[in-house]
């Protein structure tokens, strides 16, 4: 009869505990003061993965002096978790030649704490390619549909806003929505500003 030492069993148990601890720590965001942060809201912009378009999700949180976008991925409690640049990110060729494609093209921002004030949301068509070539700014009637969704995830998951807009030309910005956030995390949606929220942050075209 073969005998087994109990030592491997203890090692296996310790490894399992270690994996659990690492997983728990990695899912908790900690700010500079050491306070653990959790997601409060998730904001997404989503479009067809079959279109080689680079749509950017923009948000301007209070006090309104700095935007969240691909060039500024952390602003206060807002974090840009995913930046999608079109086919370059959504379609990947594996070493064996197979091509894997994402289900959708999507940009995702997360609010990891409550800061009361006004939040503006917009989408910007940074680039639109056909046959691998970028269209110039004179291109029109592209009819790229982008779905924007705001989901409150704490204390329970609840979709508080959803809309679909159409981007027709490169470098176009559409202000989708604005909401006022109170100290309890409740959001009240209001009309967005008329001027594109990207306007005062662009001094000429900026390359990604």
Residues 6+ positions from 115 with CB-CB distance below 8 Å:
61, 62, 76, 77, 181
Q: What are the domain boundaries of the chain?
A: 39-201
Q: Whole-number mean pLDDT of the chain? A: 84
Per-residue pLDDT at 37: 57
> What's the predicted TM-score (pTM) here?
0.79
Average pLDDT of the residues in 121-142:
95
First to last CA, the chain: 67
Per-residue pLDDT at 5: 42
Span of 5-9, 61-65, 73-77, 158-162 with lowest mean pLDDT? 5-9
Percent of the chain predicted with pLDDT > 90: 69
Average pLDDT of the residues in 115-142:
95
Average pLDDT of the residues in 73-95:
92
Average pLDDT of the residues in 164-180:
97
Q: Return the beta strands (E) in the chain as ranges.
A: 29-30, 36-37, 41-47, 53-60, 74-75, 78-82, 91-93, 99-101, 105-111, 117-130, 133-134, 144-152, 158-167, 173-181, 187-190
Average pLDDT of the residues in 123-144:
95
Sheet holding 105-111, edge to edge: 74-75, 78-82, 105-111, 41-47, 144-152, 158-167
Contact call for residues 149 and 170 (beta carbons, < 8 A)? no
- Taking only the tens place, the pLDDT of each residue in 6-52 is 433 343 444 444 333 333 333 344 444 444 457 999 999 999 999 99
Per-residue pLDDT at 160: 98
Per-residue pLDDT at 127: 97
Per-residue pLDDT at 176: 98
Percent of the chain predicted with pLDDT > 70: 79
Contact call for residues 62 and 178 (beta carbons, < 8 A)? no
Per-residue pLDDT at 1: 42
Return d(Cα 15, Cα 17) in angstroms, integer.
Answer: 5
The CATH number of the domain covering residues in 39-201: 2.60.60
Say whether pLDDT at 203 is over 90: no
């Amino acid at each position: 009869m073969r005998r087994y030492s109990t030592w491997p069993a203890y090692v296996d148990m310790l490894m399992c505990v270690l994996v659990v601890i690492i997983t728990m720590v990695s899912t908790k965001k900690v700010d500079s003061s050491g306070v653990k942060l959790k997601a409060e809201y998730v904001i997404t912009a989503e479009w067809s993965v079959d279109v080689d378009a680079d749509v950017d999700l923009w948000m301007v949180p209070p006090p309104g002096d700095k935007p969240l976008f691909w060039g500024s991925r952390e602003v206060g409690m807002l974090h840009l978790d995913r930046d999608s640049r079109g086919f370059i990110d959504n379609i990947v060729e594996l070493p064996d030649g197979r091509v894997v494609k994402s289900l959708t093209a999507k940009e995702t921002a997360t609010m990891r704490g409550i800061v009361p004030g006004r939040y503006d949301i917009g989408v910007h068509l940074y680039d639109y390619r056909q046959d691998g070539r970028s269209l110039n700014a004179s291109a029109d009637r592209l009819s790229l549909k982008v779905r924007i969704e705001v989901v409150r995830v704490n204390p329970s998951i609840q979709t508080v806003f959803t809309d679909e807009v159409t981007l027709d030309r490169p470098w176009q910005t559409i202000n989708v929505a604005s909401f006022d956030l109170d100290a309890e995390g409740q959001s009240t949606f209001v009309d967005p500003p008329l001027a594109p929220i990207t306007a005062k942050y662009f001094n000429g075209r900026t390359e990604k």
